[in-house]
Structure 1
């Protein structure tokens, strides 16, 4: 099934960049043609790939030694193989640790990783840079690799006339962000694979996404070889125009990154405006926002739940529950193994893009947990558990860190890779595995037909509830549930015998922070110690093993190799996880680690002049611009996460500097938030905390925390997102007073576990009675701007 490349905006595009008006400057001088027979003076050495002027046998031997070190289980990803199965071509990417770069290590393209070596050579030889950016589980990245980068004619042309650079966007989000901005300026949209052609000085003059190899291959679209030919001609024959175009585009990238700070913290009315805008975008039948393709967008759901809590608006809650219900019933959810796929290609959540990303599942686990607290519906608890169990089972390394993703494509029995084959079924397969009776129940429950709903096979999606199905089949709903649970286990075991999708086993600090926070929250909310242990192990692994010399975090880790320097979101998400682990464990060491990391983040990333944080560290590589991430996309902005972290640190420690930094961050984005509030849902979640009176909740047990279990259970199931809480013994509370000042003098009273609920030091009467404690928790304050007039209410009801 053909599907277009994923875009950052939830839409898909194939484009050729348009010419930009020229500006006068020193022209790029074209170089003279090189002889193919003998290397000219200063010529660079290359591996044995098509179209190079000179093969350096010593370099090739070094690359072959790296290849040999991969071990006997290594399978080269290429159709260019020798009779013994060894790869015909091995390029410089074999030395990299990124799974995405290693996927391209046997292309006939003379790939470089992003490096000074590549740009220095481009300057010496006066060649344009061909930059290709993607990630290991990107379906259309694989398509473009098979069609173009495995094509010897295209590879030879690239090798003769360009310096080709391959970048893993997950390892280098800074490169991806800067050049995606350029592509978006040129074309109006962006996506992966991202294709950019630029000068040796890193200034882009052409950009797009996926391109077919030749014109006519997919309709009448321009082919990559045609684009390369046109761009090379432009570069050599009209250098002044190229430089002018590149410099103007670079200036526009700089302008796009420049955000004028506002006069102060945005009003809480922005939360209401964002909720209203989401209401206009909401699909009341299938949930979600807008049409196909549909992305889960968990930050928007988190914002709506907070809005619903503060306004008591059942319509806002209905937007959340309808979306979560439809997603959990759809094909976007793995009905057999748990966890969500990347997005749905249709509006009904039926046909997904089958890759699974760690960051999606981390955010969705938290949203389902919060929905369970907010509504009391146990179905949301079940989905959250299934997500986390899937991650613990299939996405956790032996060291404790979480892997990044699994691919959309998987091998079929015929040996060809097909998207989604691993996850789909036929009626015959179900009957052989389950028997005719149970297969009929499962087929009816999950919409399985002979025709299928995806390439002649079936994506399981829940079309009938247990009660409805039981009525139709004359079975008790309990019996239907038993059959389905047993069938899921059988199908999971059978599926495990299929060749699985490729798993990207690099460990990313930021994403481990996200998933670590999800496990920590779940462990506390659901009283599951094993989830807390998973969280502590993962975050502990990042803090212990993913450090550079000097102590700074690094971005990635794979098979003992540390990757590049860290970025803002690596710090921000790990700080958040440390705070969640403190609340889950009561161990003050997690607060201390959060303060230490936040202090380091401020030192490396803080913009002292206008507030907010840069994506890259002060000593990081200089690109076209040093960006400050603003918008919340599939992975929320590090600034949005940082805003909430700063407020939480203030709520725990009482140190006013943290709140002041949050206020400056809010003010920096005030104009942007006012113009487009729905682009900042997670920042508005932090703003909701800022405008609330945060509860300081301490549960103090006489000698053992288990003595506070009754009160603790009340807190676990209550949706009170804007709180700082801890569950401690008398002795622990005394020890932690210096770290958390509001613990002072809070002790168990009359030998009973005691709850203290305070607001900025003003406390309710301490209580040991669960009913009184619940009333103290349930108090909700309206938004300050709407104390006299209520905000508008939504007309939605939960879809059936």
Structure 2
């Protein structure tokens, strides 16, 4: 068997291919140098661990000895984990979409030794079918073209690089009140009034759009905005995309009704959805919102937390070579496990046996009429499911996605009164600080088993982690998190911004065929919208105008997209809701230890003031807590009132009179509602 380079990788996805007969190389100059020396093209295969079709193509083609031999003879073969190297993935996905009209993973790109793409595709089957050429046919055609049409290939590659590399992020003005109102109106047109969500199948969880609509409702009182949120959140939580037994959301629904999931569970989805359901509960007090937020946070801690305290990237869709096998049930299996309760569960959870092998996911279209019975059934089903083969886990820790989880868990821990969530957020933030940050201040994107990866952080890593650190200022009295966030965002201004434009990669990062810029909030927030959020929060905490200006620049980069296609600018719109009027700042001065020493009950004093502030202020408001004399600027000059904790509600560092009682703070933030 041909050896390859992937066995030493920190990426679980790459290590899955370490025993392939393909002579895989990791991304780097050495691979392109070999291509130049051998005068052959580079085959670039990009995927990720939880990707079902990546596994299919690997089994069909990359594990096939004859196909591997052909690849090894005629190409230099490079394997990339898109989650580890989003910079590489981004530019070649841009090329793939430009050349084919669509994208996806696995992504299969053929490059000149200069890194210029000349042929792009996604999954290629082992045998020709449905009008698709087989992978071997593609390889043979490209090998022939490389020999006989070299000038044409070179021209294609150079043209792609010139055209895509020349694209620049164009600031489209401001996301003002008119853009926000128009976005809400366009989303109402795109809303599915029957099955909720936006657009047609497949339906992805529209986390950032829902967050925007909740913020828009809180500012304007729009009942249409709230209705879209409530309908979508309820349908997602009651359908098959949500794990009714253990919590956590699958990546998307393949149908419009939220029934059939694509079964992988991603950290970023669950972090974003945890924040949405917590926000929904804060706005409405919905019991469903509270349950799903709690279960989703519990899922993160139980199934994605690593021994080092970070959060793993994903759970695979497949077990034993079959997608979703771990999660689905047949009526016969339910009868075997549940006995007399099976009929009740089959009807309650809509188990019709319509999947492969007569199985179904569990749905929960209504609340059970007997909650004790449902809890007993859940225990039995979880015990039975525990005897199945557990899905593979991609246990690399990604800085950006952990940043999203830190923010969501901190807010959920505060408003739901679950201190274990805050503890988990602090531990994850400490891991990123201690392992991912090097002595020069550079943030590395990934780690695994406590060892840092070689890939440098991109804009989303710096911004999402910085926001997580800033959110922790509400949950702890540790002002060092401000220093971490400030250093990260200062580096963003130095390395990721040029002539007012934001780039996804640092100026001193590895030079690729071109430097990517993407303001699209897609499955996860774009780096530039995350930067807008983090700079807005940092400006609120420090009072420094340069950070507010940076936030405005970042929002301007998303303005054209927000006006044209608001479904793909949800995070930017949510931040703009807060930024446009000048966000609130809330300083809570006091000590939880002092509260305890004074004999006050748990939850009274500084902790309760913080909880009320995070719960009732506009979502994302900068809330900091600390003792008198703290070096956090927002706390400067703020003192106790009659020796007791006090909250200062401020805007642009101009504060109202201090408030000592939680009910008074609640009235101040809600206008007495």
Fold shared, TM-score > 0.5 on shorter chain: yes
Task: Tell me the CA shift for residue 337 of structure 1.
Answer: 1.3
Residue by residue over 1:494-527, the C-alpha shift from the partner in whole angstroms, topping out at 9 and shown as x without a partner, is: 2111111111111111111111211111111112
Contact 1:370-1:719 at 8 Å conserved across structures: no
Matching residue within 141, 150, 153 for 1:230: 141
Give the whole-Å Cα distance in 1 for the aligned partners of 2:30 and 2:313. Answer: 29
Residue 240 and residue 495 in structure 1: after superposition, are their counterparts in 2 closer, same or farther (change >3 A)? same
Matching residue within 17, 20, 23 for 1:104: 17
Contact 2:444-2:456 at 8 Å conserved across structures: yes
Give the whole-Å Cα distance in 2 for the aligned partners of 1:340 and 1:360. Answer: 7
Larger radius of gyration: 1
Map of 1:317 onto structure 2: 226
TM-score, structure 1 normalization = 0.80
Map of 1:63 onto structure 2: none
Contact 1:636-1:682 at 8 Å conserved across structures: yes
Q: 3-state SS of the aligned residue for 1:696?
A: strand
List aligned pairs for 1:404-443, cutoff 5 A: 404-411=313-320, 417-436=321-340, 438-443=341-346
Contact 1:282-1:290 at 8 Å conserved across structures: yes
Task: Tell me the CA shift for residue 774 of structure 1.
Answer: 2.5
Which consecutive unaligned segments of at least 5 residues does structure 1 have?
A: 1-47, 50-89, 412-416, 467-476, 781-800
| 1:663 is the counterpart of 2:586 | no
| 1:739 is the counterpart of 2:632 | yes
Task: Tell me the CA shift for residue 281 of structure 1.
Answer: 0.9
Contact 2:44-2:108 at 8 Å conserved across structures: yes
Task: Tell me the CA shift for residue 548 of structure 1.
Answer: 3.7
Contact 2:520-2:561 at 8 Å conserved across structures: no
Map of 1:261 onto structure 2: 171
Contact 1:271-1:677 at 8 Å conserved across structures: no
Contact 1:444-1:464 at 8 Å conserved across structures: no
Residue 269 and residue 358 in structure 1: after superposition, are their counterparts in 2 closer, same or farther (change >3 A)? same
| 1:403 is the counterpart of 2:312 | yes
Map of 2:473 onto structure 1: 582
Map of 2:122 onto structure 1: 209
Map of 1:530 onto structure 2: 420
Map of 2:50 onto structure 1: 137
Residue by residue over 1:172-196, the C-alpha shift from the partner in whole angstroms, topping out at 9 and shown as x without a partner, is: 1011000000000011110000011
Q: 3-state SS of the aligned residue for 2:381?
A: helix
Give the whole-Å Cα distance in 2 for the aligned partners of 1:381 and 1:490. Answer: 24
Q: 3-state SS of the aligned residue for 1:130?
A: strand
Matching residue within 329, 346, 350 for 1:447: 350
Q: 3-state SS of the aligned residue for 2:358?
A: coil
Map of 1:365 onto structure 2: 274
Give the whole-Å Cα distance in 2 for the aligned partners of 1:744 and 1:100. Answer: 48
Map of 2:256 onto structure 1: 347
Contact 1:213-1:223 at 8 Å conserved across structures: yes
Q: 3-state SS of the aligned residue for 2:309?
A: coil
List aligned pairs for 1:602-621, cutoff 5 A: 602-607=493-498, 609-612=499-502, 614-621=503-510
Map of 1:127 onto structure 2: 40
Give the whole-Å Cα distance in 2 for the aligned partners of 1:128 and 1:507. Answer: 32
Residue by residue over 1:7-41, the C-alpha shift from the partner in whole angstroms, topping out at 9 and shown as x without a partner, is: xxxxxxxxxxxxxxxxxxxxxxxxxxxxxxxxxxx
Map of 1:692 onto structure 2: 581
Deviates more, 1:573-582 or 1:264-273: 264-273
| 1:495 is the counterpart of 2:346 | no
Map of 2:652 onto structure 1: 760
Map of 2:599 onto structure 1: none
Residue 261 and residue 700 in structure 1: after superposition, are their counterparts in 2 closer, same or farther (change >3 A)? closer
Contact 1:407-1:502 at 8 Å conserved across structures: yes
Task: Tell me the CA shift for residue 372 of structure 1.
Answer: 0.3
TM-score, structure 2 normalization = 0.94
Task: Tell me the CA shift for residue 365 of structure 1.
Answer: 0.3
Matching residue within 557, 579, 594 for 2:485: 594
Residue by residue over 1:249-287, the C-alpha shift from the partner in whole angstroms, topping out at 9 and shown as x without a partner, is: 11222134x12334x533232122221111111112221
Deviates more, 1:771-780 or 1:511-520: 771-780
Contact 1:692-1:722 at 8 Å conserved across structures: no
Contact 2:521-2:529 at 8 Å conserved across structures: yes
Map of 1:470 onto structure 2: none
Residue by residue over 1:627-684, the C-alpha shift from the partner in whole angstroms, topping out at 9 and shown as x without a partner, is: 1231111121111111111111111111111111122223344444444343221111
List aligned pairs for 1:18-57, cutoff 5 A: 48-49=1-2
| 1:285 is the counterpart of 2:201 | no
Contact 2:415-2:612 at 8 Å conserved across structures: no
Residue 636 and residue 668 in structure 1: after superposition, are their counterparts in 2 closer, same or farther (change >3 A)? closer
Map of 1:16 onto structure 2: none
Q: 3-state SS of the aligned residue for 1:458?
A: coil
Map of 1:240 onto structure 2: 151
Residue by residue over 1:219-269, the C-alpha shift from the partner in whole angstroms, topping out at 9 and shown as x without a partner, is: 33211111111111111101111111111111222134x12334x533232
Give the whole-Å Cα distance in 2 for the aligned partners of 1:102 and 1:726. Answer: 42
Map of 2:600 onto structure 1: none
Q: 3-state SS of the aligned residue for 2:210?
A: helix
Task: Tell me the CA shift for residue 770 of structure 1.
Answer: 4.5
Residue 261 and residue 752 in structure 1: after superposition, are their counterparts in 2 closer, same or farther (change >3 A)? closer
Matching residue within 660, 665, 670 for 1:778: 670
Matching residue within 120, 132, 138 for 1:221: 132
Give the whole-Å Cα distance in 1 for the aligned partners of 2:15 and 2:330. Answer: 34
Residue 596 and residue 713 in structure 1: after superposition, are their counterparts in 2 closer, same or farther (change >3 A)? closer
Map of 2:108 onto structure 1: 195
Give the whole-Å Cα distance in 2 for the aligned partners of 1:605 and 1:710. Answer: 39
Map of 2:301 onto structure 1: 392
Residue by residue over 1:752-786, the C-alpha shift from the partner in whole angstroms, topping out at 9 and shown as x without a partner, is: 54433232344444444544432320249xxxxxx
Map of 1:64 onto structure 2: none
Task: Tell me the CA shift for residue 549 of structure 1.
Answer: 5.1
Q: 3-state SS of the aligned residue for 1:615?
A: coil
Give the whole-Å Cα distance in 1 for the aligned partners of 2:438 and 2:657. Answer: 49
Q: 3-state SS of the aligned residue for 1:435?
A: helix
Residue 745 and residue 220 in structure 1: after superposition, are their counterparts in 2 closer, same or farther (change >3 A)? closer
Contact 2:435-2:450 at 8 Å conserved across structures: no
Map of 2:71 onto structure 1: 158
Residue 719 and residue 368 in structure 1: after superposition, are their counterparts in 2 closer, same or farther (change >3 A)? farther
Residue 717 and residue 723 in structure 1: after superposition, are their counterparts in 2 closer, same or farther (change >3 A)? closer
Aligned residues: 662
Residue by residue over 1:56-97, the C-alpha shift from the partner in whole angstroms, topping out at 9 and shown as x without a partner, is: xxxxxxxxxxxxxxxxxxxxxxxxxxxxxxxxxx32222222
Task: Tell me the CA shift for residue 716 of structure 1.
Answer: 4.5
Give the whole-Å Cα distance in 2 for the aligned partners of 1:339 and 1:547. Answer: 29
Contact 1:373-1:719 at 8 Å conserved across structures: no
Which consecutive unaligned segments of at least 5 residues does structure 2 have?
A: 597-603
Q: 3-state SS of the aligned residue for 2:456?
A: coil
| 1:644 is the counterpart of 2:533 | yes
Give the whole-Å Cα distance in 1 for the aligned partners of 2:225 and 2:629. Answer: 42
Residue by residue over 1:363-404, the C-alpha shift from the partner in whole angstroms, topping out at 9 and shown as x without a partner, is: 000000000011111211111111111111111111101111
List aligned pairs for 1:430-579, cutoff 5 A: 430-436=334-340, 438-449=341-352, 451-466=353-368, 477=369, 480-548=370-438, 550-563=440-453, 564-579=455-470
Task: Tell me the CA shift for residue 699 of structure 1.
Answer: 3.6
Give the whole-Å Cα distance in 2 for the aligned partners of 1:144 and 1:556. Answer: 25
Q: 3-state SS of the aligned residue for 2:457?
A: coil
